[in-house]
């Protein structure tokens, strides 16, 4: 949510280092790996074939068979053998996990509406069952289940940035735990999470001042399942993972719970020299003060040490690199330091419900602390000679040279500290007047965020390398530089008043009006900004079969306005280091949600339009409002001109489609166009890193007649992504295929669950994202085949 200014404008680009790329897998892989990957993929394909064969050959249900000709029944002797009854119904032929989430934990949002189906916003979630089946460890493993969410900067060994509906998430405010904002510059551990929720688009009441794309919310476990669980896992590269979950339930009538989660991981990645390790611990509780008052608490800590990779840039700013591998770490130096992450998040929520159940009060607070020693050998820009001059002067200095040469830098920024603290108090309740019911929410919130950075980070040029040649061993800079102590670089404070009225009228129609009145004060702006951020919606839930309770379908529409803080200009423009003014995003959306059995498969669809200013480095011929001095014709100035409009359609399906099948499927088609930019080459062009079409599909299929074996095929398609603002260069589209299997030797109620899961089973080589950071653009390679095995034991 905020950006931290550097004392030295020449180093603003390194304030938050560019996103790093996973390199391509080396063709010199060991014989063991060459044998293991095809074997594991073949085994999984065989399981899928068995499953599909069983489905195709299964006899039809008995009730679907034609009735035999009528004939006069004959009495059977008492000793006559009863004929055998044949049926396809099997007692164990049912999946018991759940890929669908019924309730949410976005502050008061879930409490107000009661279920996902009734909320007039586009929302999906990844359940615990889904994350376990896909062997998810970080958020990048989870967001792939929603086609509207993509990576915008998620290198191996570093925390990830993501985009929703083509808009990058603001890490200062877009990541939450139990509805409360946390410092997003971290890999939030998943071991103690019940699900991860994705709110797409604008939600003025819940979001406050944030980025337009949406909010990602982690929900912790607050219910003790009644058993202790041990998890062990590995992959074909040698990763070792272990986790322990235990807890206790207190009381008889009003149950209190404490759940403790511990985990450790020795990480072996597909990128050379990017291995690491981590350890985490968490304690989550639900404390029953009385039948009407409950206190929820959550605390987690994670320590992680890992070297991180770096991304590629276009050659000369106009050519996509070819013949490169995901296993290669550009600029690798054996002496370079790893990144060190120390993060903890804590929160509590006190909820009280009146005796008649009509009114409730909620008091919540949270504190999030992310401390990072940021170290990387960073390949960036044109190769330089001994005097610091570009070796390819006819190409932009902020891209690799046309021949693949680039400069590597020893970048060190120790003691980066980001702290989020938030508090919220709300009162919600119902007032009924005849057939009309009002549901009111009134309250306020306070949010503080601070960022400490060193004003004298190390950013020393080491030498020249080339993407088509082996890395060169360089000595550390001499004399060896030391970064200064971190000092306050950014501070942001928000206060807000919240009000919302939800009016239910006869006929299944609900009208909603509300929003936040916010006041924002930021270190990088001269004066506070106050604004009303409205949100309006309408829903219609018709009854079916004249049953006043049975309402499986919901139609909705919404309109909202959101305030976001302006971006920071890159180091190579005339207004380097300048923060542009806060800006507004407007959204209109209509949608439908359908749940046939109210607990089976939830199918949703949405049409949306979102519009905000277009930011880019513009070629100027004279001074203007953004660059008012020391301007020469042809200079670059980072400006907001014109707009970008994102029009799209989303389709999602989650839940149990049949007794033997679960689904998590998603499709997003989007036209994200820049217009009136002042640069004709950028008008009516698709914006960076926003594919026109993306689909995802993951299924859990029970292998009939085997009762304890499930196969889990998956597929995703991502259309081409633009890598330049004039759409002259793009990365090609790609399909990814995944396959997994789950086996429970003791059945669904057994103590052991074994899982085998393989990503990218065809070992497809692809570019996963083309995002921009501080005006710079980067491209990142995707991961090769990865085979994981895990065992889950409960006792």
3-state SS of 703-727?
Answer: CCCCCCEEEEEEEEEECCEECCCCC
Q: Which of 21-25, 90-94, 217-221, 723-727 has the lowest mean pLDDT?
A: 21-25
The SS3 assignment for 11 reads: helix
78 found inside a domain: no
Pairing of strands 161-164, 240-250: unpaired
Comparing 471 with 107, which gets the higher pLDDT? 471
CB 133 within 8 A of CB 742: yes
563, two tokens: 């305030």
Q: Which of 41-55, 401-415, 597-611 has the lowest mean pLDDT?
A: 41-55
135 found inside a domain: yes
Pairing of strands 293-306, 214-220: unpaired
Residue range 254-272: mean pLDDT, rounded: 94
Residue 28: is its pLDDT beyond 50?
A: no
768 found inside a domain: yes
User: Percent of the chain at pLDDT above 70?
Assistant: 84
For residue 350, which of 276, 309, 296, 298 has the smallest C-alpha distance? Answer: 296
293 burial type by CB count under 10 A (0-12 exposed, 13-18 middle, 19+ buried): middle
Provide the CA 623 distance to its chain's centre, in angstroms: 40
149 burial type by CB count under 10 A (0-12 exposed, 13-18 middle, 19+ buried): buried
- What was the pLDDT predicted at 545? 66
Q: Is 655 left (phi over 0), alpha (psi -120 to 50) or beta?
A: left
- What was the pLDDT predicted at 225? 83
Alpha-carbon gap, residue 679 to 619, rounded angstroms: 8
- What was the pLDDT predicted at 525? 84
558-572 confidence digits (pLDDT tens): 999 999 988 889 889
CB 609 within 8 A of CB 645: yes
671-700 confidence digits (pLDDT tens): 999 999 999 999 999 999 999 999 999 999
Q: Which of 67-76, 91-100, 547-556 has the lowest mean pLDDT?
A: 67-76
Residue 321: is its pLDDT beyond 50?
A: yes
Alpha-carbon gap, residue 565 to 555, rounded angstroms: 33
636, two tokens: 């670059």
62 found inside a domain: no
Pairing of strands 601-620, 635-658: antiparallel
Q: Which of 235-239, 280-284, 593-597 has the lowest mean pLDDT?
A: 593-597
Query: 339 CB contacts (<8 Å, ≥6 apart)?
Result: 157, 158, 304, 305, 306, 307, 308, 372, 373, 374, 375, 376
Asked whether the CA dihedral 615, 617, 621, 623 is positive or negative, the reply is positive
CB 497 within 8 A of CB 517: yes
Q: In what helix (H) or strand (E) does residue 504 lie, and over which residues does it extend? A: strand 487-505
Residue 87: is its pLDDT beyond 70?
A: no
- What was the pLDDT predicted at 102? 66
290, two tokens: 């009385």
Q: Which of 476-480, 719-723, 734-738, 774-778 has the lowest mean pLDDT?
A: 774-778
Q: Is 48 left (phi over 0), alpha (psi -120 to 50) or beta?
A: alpha
Q: How confident is the model at residue 105 (pLDDT cuts 50, 70, 90)?
A: low
Residue range 543-567: mean pLDDT, rounded: 84
Q: Is 149 left (phi over 0), alpha (psi -120 to 50) or beta?
A: beta
Alpha-carbon gap, residue 705 to 57, rounded angstroms: 11
Asked whether the CA dihedral 259, 264, 268, 274 is positive or negative, the reply is positive
Residue 123: is its pLDDT beyond 70?
A: yes
CB 328 within 8 A of CB 26: yes
For residue 416, which of 158, 774, 140 has the smallest C-alpha distance? Answer: 158
| Bond from prior residue into 479 cis (ω within 30 degrees of 0) | yes
Q: How confident is the model at residue 100 (pLDDT cuts 50, 70, 90)?
A: confident
Residue 154: is its pLDDT beyond 60?
A: yes
23, two tokens: 């390199």
- What was the pLDDT predicted at 315? 96
Q: Which of 42-56, 270-284, 382-396, 635-649 has the lowest mean pLDDT?
A: 42-56
- Sheet hosting strand 161-164, strand order edge to edge: 149-153, 161-164, 167-168
Cα–Cα separations (whole angstroms), residue 303 to 41, 76, 187, 413, 782: 33, 76, 10, 18, 26
Residue range 650-670: mean pLDDT, rounded: 94
Cα–Cα separations (whole angstroms), residue 323 to 18, 26, 465: 22, 11, 16
304, two tokens: 């992680």
Q: How confident is the model at residue 76 (pLDDT cuts 50, 70, 90)?
A: very low
Q: How confident is the model at residue 34 (pLDDT cuts 50, 70, 90)?
A: very low
129, two tokens: 């069952």
Residue range 467-494: mean pLDDT, rounded: 93
Question: 595: domain range?
Answer: 9-54+98-794
CATH assignment at residue 325: 2.40.170.20
- What was the pLDDT predicted at 124? 93
Q: Is the pTM of this model over 0.85?
A: yes
- What was the pLDDT predicted at 116? 82
Mean pLDDT for all residues in the chain:
86
Residue range 211-221: mean pLDDT, rounded: 91
Asked whether the CA dihedral 328, 329, 331, 333 is positive or negative, the reply is negative
Beta bridge partners of 90: none
Residue 246: is its pLDDT beyond 90?
A: yes
76 found inside a domain: no
343-392 confidence digits (pLDDT tens): 999 999 999 999 988 899 999 999 999 999 999 999 999 999 999 999 99
For residue 23, which of 467, 328, 469, 380 has the smallest C-alpha distance? Answer: 328
Alpha-carbon gap, residue 681 to 368, rounded angstroms: 43
CB 20 within 8 A of CB 310: yes
207, two tokens: 């979001």
User: Percent of the chain at pLDDT above 90?
Assistant: 69
72 found inside a domain: no
Residue range 513-528: mean pLDDT, rounded: 89
Alpha-carbon gap, residue 682 to 613, rounded angstroms: 14
Residue range 261-266: mean pLDDT, rounded: 98
- What was the pLDDT predicted at 98? 78
766 found inside a domain: yes
- What was the pLDDT predicted at 211? 84
183 found inside a domain: yes
50 burial type by CB count under 10 A (0-12 exposed, 13-18 middle, 19+ buried): middle
192-210 confidence digits (pLDDT tens): 999 999 999 987 677 778 8
Q: How confident is the model at residue 577 (pLDDT cuts 50, 70, 90)?
A: confident
For residue 618, which of 600, 638, 632, 603 has the smallest C-alpha distance? Answer: 638
Domain count, the chain: 1
Residue 447: is its pLDDT beyond 80?
A: yes
Residue 457: is its pLDDT beyond 70?
A: yes
């Amino acid at each position: 949510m905020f950006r931290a200014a550097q004392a030295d404008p020449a180093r603003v680009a390194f304030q938050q280092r560019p996103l790093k790329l996973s390199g391509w897998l080396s063709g010199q892989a060991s014989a063991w790996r060459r044998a293991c990957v095809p074997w594991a993929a073949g085994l999984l394909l065989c399981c899928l074939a068995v499953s599909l064969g069983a489905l195709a050959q299964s006899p039809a249900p008995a009730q679907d068979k034609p009735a035999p000709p009528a004939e006069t029944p004959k009495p059977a002797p008492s000793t006559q053998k009863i004929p055998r009854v044949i049926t396809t119904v099997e007692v164990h032929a049912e999946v018991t996990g759940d890929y669908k989430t019924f309730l949410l934990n976005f502050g008061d949002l879930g409490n107000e509406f009661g279920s996902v189906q009734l909320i007039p916003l586009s929302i999906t979630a990844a359940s615990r069952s889904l994350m376990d089946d896909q062997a998810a460890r970080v958020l990048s493993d989870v967001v792939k289940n929603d086609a509207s969410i993509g990576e915008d900067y998620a290198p191996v060994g570093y925390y990830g940035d993501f985009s929703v509906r083509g808009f990058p998430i603001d890490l200062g405010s877009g990541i939450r735990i139990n509805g409360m904002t946390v410092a997003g510059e971290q890999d939030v551990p998943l071991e103690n999470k019940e699900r991860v929720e994705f709110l797409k688009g604008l939600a003025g009441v819940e979001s406050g001042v944030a980025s337009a794309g949406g909010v990602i919310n982690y929900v912790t476990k607050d219910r003790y399942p009644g058993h202790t669980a041990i998890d062990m896992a590995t992959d074909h590269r040698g990763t070792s993972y272990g986790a322990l979950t235990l807890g206790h339930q207190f009381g008889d009538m009003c149950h209190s719970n404490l759940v403790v989660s511990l985990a450790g991981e020795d990480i072996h990645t597909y990128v050379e020299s990017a291995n690491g390790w981590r350890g985490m611990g968490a304690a989550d509780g639900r404390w029953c003060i009385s039948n009407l008052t409950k206190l929820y608490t959550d605390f987690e800590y994670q320590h992680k040490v890992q070297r991180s990779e770096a991304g590629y840039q276009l050659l000369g700013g106009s050519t996509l690199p070819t013949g490169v591998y995901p296993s290669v770490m550009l600029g690798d130096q054996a002496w370079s330091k790893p990144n060190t992450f120390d993060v903890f998040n804590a929160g509590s929520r006190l909820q009280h419900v009146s005796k008649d159940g009509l009114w409730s009060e909620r008091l919540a607070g949270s504190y999030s602390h992310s401390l990072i020693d940021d170290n990387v050998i960073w390949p960036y820009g044109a190769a330089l000679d001994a005097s610091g001059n570009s070796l390819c002067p006819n190409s932009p200095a902020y891209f690799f040279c046309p021949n693949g040469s680039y400069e590597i830098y020893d970048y060190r920024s120790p003691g980066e500290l980001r702290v989020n603290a938030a508090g919220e108090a709300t009162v919600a309740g119902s007032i009924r007047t005849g057939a009309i019911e009002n549901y009111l929410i009134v309250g306020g919130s306070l949010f503080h965020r601070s960022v400490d950075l060193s004003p004298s980070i190390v950013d020393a040029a080491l030498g020249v390398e080339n993407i088509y040649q082996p890395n060169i061993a360089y000595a550390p800079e001499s004399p060896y530089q030391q970064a200064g102590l971190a000092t306050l670089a950014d501070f942001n404070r928000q206060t807000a008043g919240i009000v919302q009225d939800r009016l239910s009228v006869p006929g299944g129609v609900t009208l909603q009006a509300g929003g936040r009145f916010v006041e924002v004060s930021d270190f990088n702006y001269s004066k506070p900004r106050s604004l009303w951020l409205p949100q309006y919606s309408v829903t219609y839930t018709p009854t079916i079969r004249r049953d006043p309770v049975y309402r499986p379908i919901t139609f909705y529409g919404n309109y909202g306005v959101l305030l976001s803080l302006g971006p920071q200009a890159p180091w190579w423009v005339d207004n380097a280091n300048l923060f542009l003014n806060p800006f507004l995003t407007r959204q209109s959306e209509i949608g439908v949600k359908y749940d046939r059995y109210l607990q089976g498969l939830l199918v949703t669809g949405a049409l949306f339009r979102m519009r905000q200013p277009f930011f880019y480095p513009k070629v100027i011929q004279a001074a203007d409002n953004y660059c008012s001095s020391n301007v020469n014709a042809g200079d670059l100035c980072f400006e907001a001109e014109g707009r970008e409009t994102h029009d799209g359609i989303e389709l999602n399906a989650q839940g149990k489609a049949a007794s033997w099948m679960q689904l998590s499927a998603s499709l997003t088609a989007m036209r994200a166009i820049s217009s009136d930019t002042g640069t004709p080459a950028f008008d009516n062009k698709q914006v960076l890193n926003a594919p026109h079409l993306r689909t995802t599909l993951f299924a859990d299929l029970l292998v009939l007649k085997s009762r304890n074996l499930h196969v889990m095929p998956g597929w995703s398609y991502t259309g081409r992504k633009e890598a330049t603002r004039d759409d002259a260069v793009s990365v090609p589209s790609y399909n990814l295929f995944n396959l997994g299997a789950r086996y429970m030797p003791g059945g669904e109620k057994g103590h052991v669950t074994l899982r085998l899961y393989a990503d990218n089973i065809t070992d497809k080589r692809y570019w996963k994202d083309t995002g921009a950071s501080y005006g710079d653009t980067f491209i990142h390679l995707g991961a090769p085949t990865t085979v994981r095995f895990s065992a889950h034991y409960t006792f």
